Amino acid sequence: MTSRSGFRIDQPQPNDLVGDPLSIAGMGGGFEATIDIRVLDANGNEFLTTSVQSTNLISAWQTQINLPDPPPTNRGVVEIASSTGADEAEARVSVPVFFGTRIATGFRSYLLHVVQPGETLSAIGANEPLYIGSGFGPIFEANRDIIGDPNLIHPGQVLRIPADF
What would the pLDDT profile of 5-42 be if each residue is shown by its tens digit? Answer: 567 889 999 999 999 999 999 887 666 678 889 999 99
Residue 134 exposed, middle or buried by CB count within 10 Å (0-12, 13-18, 19+): exposed
Quick check: 85 pLDDT over 80? no
Q: Which fold has domain 104-163?
A: Membrane-bound Lytic Murein Transglycosylase D; Chain A (3.10.350)
In the chain, what are the domain boundaries?
Answer: 2-101, 104-163
Report the predicted TM-score, pTM, of the whole model to 2 decimal places: 0.88
Looking at residue 165, what is its pLDDT? 83
Are domains 2-101 and 104-163 of this chain identical in fold?
no
CATH of domain 2-101: 2.60.40.10
Whether 42 contacts 109, CB under 8 Å: no
